[in-house]
C-alpha cells in the first residue's frame, strides 16, 4: 500500500497531480531479471493476482490530517472530480 498524507496545505489540483504521478509510475514497465516485461513496481512490491490473471495496482491510501488551513471536506469532492478517470473502472459486457 502506498500512503499519501495531506496536512491540508495542498489544493485538490495539487493532490490530483500527485495521484497522476502514481498512475504514471504504476503504468511504467521494465524487463525483469527473467527477461519478461512487467510493471516496474512489481519488481519491488508484490500483490496477489486477480482471479483472471490481471495484475492489479497496489492501493494508494490518501489520508487527510486536518492541521492546515484548507478544509478536507471541500477538497475531497473536487479531488474526486479531478481524478475520476483514475479510479472509475471500465464497463464490461458481462456486467
Q: How many CB atoms lie within 10 A of CB 41?
A: 20
Which of 61, 53, 91, 71 is CA-nearest to residue 11?
71
Task: Kindly state the helix (H) or strand (E) to which residue 66 belongs, with its residue range.
Answer: none
Q: Give tens-digit pLDDT for 51-83.
A: 655 666 777 889 999 999 999 999 999 999 999
- Range 8-26 average pLDDT: 94
Chain position carrying cell 482471479:
51
- Chain centroid, CA 77 distance in Å: 17
pLDDT at residue 52 in the model = 56
pTM beyond 0.95: the answer is no
Amino acid at each position: 500500500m502506498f500512503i499519501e498524507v495531506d496536512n491540508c496545505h495542498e489544493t485538490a489540483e495539487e493532490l490530483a497531480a500527485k495521484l497522476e504521478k502514481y498512475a504514471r509510475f504504476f503504468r511504467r514497465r521494465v524487463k525483469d531479471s527473467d527477461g519478461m516485461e512487467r510493471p516496474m513496481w512489481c519488481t519491488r512490491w508484490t500483490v496477489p493476482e486477480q482471479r483472471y490473471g490481471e495484475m492489479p495496482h497496489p492501493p494508494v491510501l490518501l489520508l487527510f490530517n486536518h492541521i492546515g488551513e484548507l478544509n478536507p471536506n471541500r477538497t475531497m469532492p473536487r479531488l474526486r472530480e479531478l481524478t475520476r478517470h483514475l479510479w472509475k473502472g471500465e464497463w464490461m459486457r458481462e456486467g
